[in-house]
Structure 1
Amino acid sequence: MKTCLQMTFAVLVAFLSASGLAAPQTPNVVSSEPRVEVEWLGGATMLLRFDGTTILTDPAFGEGAAAFTMLDPNASARADGALHQVAHRRLTPFPGIKVAEVNYTLVSHLHEDHFDQKAEAILPKTLPVVIPPADAKRLEEKKFTAGRPLDWGQTLRIDTSNGQIEISALPAEHSPNPLVSGQLGRGNGYWLTFVRGGWQRSLYWTGDTFPTPRVIAAVQAKGRPDLLIGHVGGVGAGGMFGKISMGGAELRVLADQVKPATVLPIHHSTYALYQEPVWKVAEQFSGSPYRFNLLSEGSVLVLH
């Protein structure tokens, strides 16, 4: 039986589709024409497919009441000052993944809602993992042997069947408060450029960040992305660290600064961890100059 949240989200997706605001849920088909497929699997987990290469982002595969274990950023600090791990609930079914099709994993940071215990257990330990340098040692401790640390400003190029993917690491600041951001660790956003012959598309995936001056300047230096994929959910409001992921208002500020053609919010609706409902994000983009997309989990947005 569907929960009230699932039904509300489904109604919102249907409304946006009818309004021309949401991308059609295009199946993942092989095409001779260049295209980038973005399949959202919930949370911050996506499959990016281009020219025979598949990139998995922030793998989190757990389901049910104990989908993953992590500190609760929405909780107030305990009287004893101790921080405790708790189980976090996934509200939606995981759409599934064929691990064998994945060529690379791209990780914004190693908080457990972005690389959960189930993904750690089932992903091949030899899978190349692009990761912030601050998390490289922890990745090794998880027995992954092909970590590829990528610091802010550095670029990795991947050859595909007929083209290339260029991945550039950008700043991601987990809180507008520099002290809190430092406590939570130095993560990455990523700018991806997909090239095949004279065809080129760009994608900016924010990671967990706010539109701070450093983030905005780094993105503007890359240009105007064809697609902005933003982490929302408003996590932490009222919690021990304060708000540590964008809400709709912050995503709109970021969009107005970097001026993408298309906006796709992710990092919402999947977990009880998220505090801001996605309809509030949609409200922020009503009447905006950007194409606003809202995908249901397991569906695909295509950049032609």
Structure 2
Amino acid sequence: MDSTRRNFLWALSLLTLQGCALRPDRTSAARSSEPGQEPVLHVTWVGGPTMAISFGDLTILTDPVLGESFSMGDPNEPVDYRKVVQHHRSTPFSGIDPKVADLVLLSHAHEDHFDQQAWADLDRSLPILLPMADVRTVTAKGFRRVEGMQWGDMRRLAAGAGRAVFITAMPAHHSSDPKIAGALGKGNGYWVELTEGSWRRAIYWTGDSMPTEEVIAAARSRGRPDLLVPHVGGVGATGPFGLISMRASDVVALARAVQPRHVLPIHHSTYEFYREPISELAARSEGEAYRLDLIAAGSTVVYR
């Protein structure tokens, strides 16, 4: 990886999102936008919580889960939920070369969001933005360029000539019960704004969060997102913590509140502990104002 692509310009600033429609075009491979051409945004869903978001010269890898399986307790297990078990992929792993990433954006460091294979494969010099609460854990694994973000913190990343990406840490509540959310650890959602001249697009990636009043208020204060990326799957319904990721009804409620133009759900289907089928969201989204972009793991959506 060219080190100059990792020499990001970090700065604090604010942008106002200009309302623009997205035009999705599904492709099997991402193509970078060239200077003078209409800007494009590529989002590849690798499976689980993992995406590659590419804009200009910058590729952001979210919550890297890169193995055929990972080791963790089972939050759906009502009794022996602490027992560490192997969680195997139930859909084929399309694979991704971790060397394409210029930055890792981490919602939190639970093993189903930063798995053992990612610990082994990722370059220890790769920049990582993550919740402040996870800095010590990730640094202990040998990663050297780790920067914690509190809710409301913003960072600016260069993405090539005239292009920039602004990342703001957003509230994320792993449970609607404050005590359980506190026990599970403080994670982040992220508001990602991509800019080139007057061209503006905004992604709201929820991370593992329920649509609490604080979460909704924070998102609405940012304006209308072009793309909402929720974590779904209804994890935890049968376990001791209760729901710790959204169901279809929660996604619809959140979307009605923040009014995205598109919804691209992730964190579903890839593992058996995602208990609610994605077909439930498809059914509940009928007649809603947003466009639901359902793609298979390994597929790319191109937004213009």
TM > 0.5 fold call: yes
Q: Indicate the SS of the match to 1:139.
A: helix
Asked whether the equivalents of residues 31 and 42 of structure 2 are also in contact (C-alpha less than 8 Å), the reply is no
How far does residue 131 in structure 1 lie from its aligned partner after superposition? 0.4
Show CA shifts across 1:199-255 (max 9, x none): 110000000001100000100110000000000000011101111100100000000
User: CA deviation digits over 1:276-299, x for unaligned, max 9?
Assistant: 000001111011111111011111
Are 1:282 and 2:282 counterparts?
yes
Flag structure 2 segments of 5+ consecutive residues without an equivalent: 1-23
TM-superposed CA distance for 1:256, in Å, is: 0.4
Equivalent in the alignment of 1:138: 137
Of residues 73, 76, 81, the one that matches 2:75 is: 73
Task: Provide the secondary structure at the position in 1 that maps to 2:201.
Answer: strand
C-alpha contact 1:220 1:258 (8 A) present in aligned 2? yes
**TM-score, normalised relative to structure 1:** 0.89
Asked if structure 2 preserves the Cα contact closer than 8 Å seen for 1:269 and 1:277, the reply is yes
Correspondence for 1:222: 222
Structure-1 residue corresponding to 2:172? 172
SS class of match (1:231): coil
Quick one: percent identity of the two aligned structures? 45
Task: Supply the AA of the counterpart residue of 2:165.
Answer: I
In 2: Cα distance, 1:283 partner to 1:250 partner: 13
Q: Which residue of structure 2 aligns with residue 108 of structure 1? A: 107
Could you tell me which amino acid in structure 2 is paired with residue 149 of structure 1? G
* Correspondence 1:38 to 2:43: yes
For residues 223-262 of structure 1, the aligned pairs below 5 Å read 223-262=223-262
Instruction: State the one-letter code of the partner of 1:153.
Output: G
Q: Aligned equivalents of 1:301 and 1:24: distance in 2?
A: 4
Deviations 1:166-212 (A, max 9, x none): 00000000011111101100000000000011111000000000110
1:83 aligns with 2:79: no
Name the structure 2 match of 1:6.
none
* Contact 1:23-1:295 within 8 A present in 2 as well: no
Counterpart CA distance in 2 for 1:83 and 1:51 is 43
How far is the alpha carbon of 1:97 from its aligned partner?
1.3
Instruction: Measure, in 2, the Cα distance between the counterparts of 1:55 and 1:137.
Output: 22
Paired residues of 1:153 and 1:170 also in contact (CA < 8 A) = yes
Residues 141-160 of structure 1 mapped to structure 2, 5 A cutoff: 141-160=140-159
Separation of aligned partners in 1, 2:92 and 2:145: 30
Is 1:50 the counterpart of 2:55? The answer is yes
Report the 3-state secondary structure (helix = DSSP H, G, I; strand = E; otherwise coil) of the residue aligned with 1:49: strand
Q: Is the 8 A contact 2:32 2:54 kept in 1?
A: no
RMSD: 1.4
Cα distance between partner residues in 1 of 2:28 and 2:121: 28
- The one-character-per-residue Cα deviations of 1:34-91 (angstroms, maximum 9, x if unpaired) are 111000000000000001100000000111xxx001111000134xxx8221111211
- Partner letter of residue 145 of structure 1? R
**1: distance between equivalents of 2:251 and 2:289?**
14
The answer on 1:300 being equivalent to 2:268 is no
Contact 1:68–1:112 (Cα < 8 Å) also in 2? yes
Cα distance in structure 1, aligned partners of 2:254 and 2:32? 33
Classify the secondary structure of the residue corresponding to 2:47: coil
Contact 1:207 1:230 in 2 (8 A): yes
Gap regions ≥5 residues in structure 1: 1-21
Amino acid at match of 2:106: V
Instruction: Give the AA of the match of 1:109.
Output: H
**Distance in 1 between residues matched to 2:90 and 2:79, nearest whole Å:** 25
The amino acid of 1:230's aligned partner reads: P
Cα distance in 2 for partners of 1:85, 1:171 equals 28
TM-score (norm 2): 0.89
Q: Which amino acid aligns with 1:61?
A: L
**Is the contact between residue 33 and residue 55 of structure 2 (CA under 8 Å) also seen in structure 1?**
no
What code does the residue aligned with 1:209 have? S
- What is the letter of the counterpart of residue 60 of structure 2? I
The structural deviation recorded for 1:125 is 0.7
Q: Distance in 2 between matches of 1:171 and 1:108?
A: 10
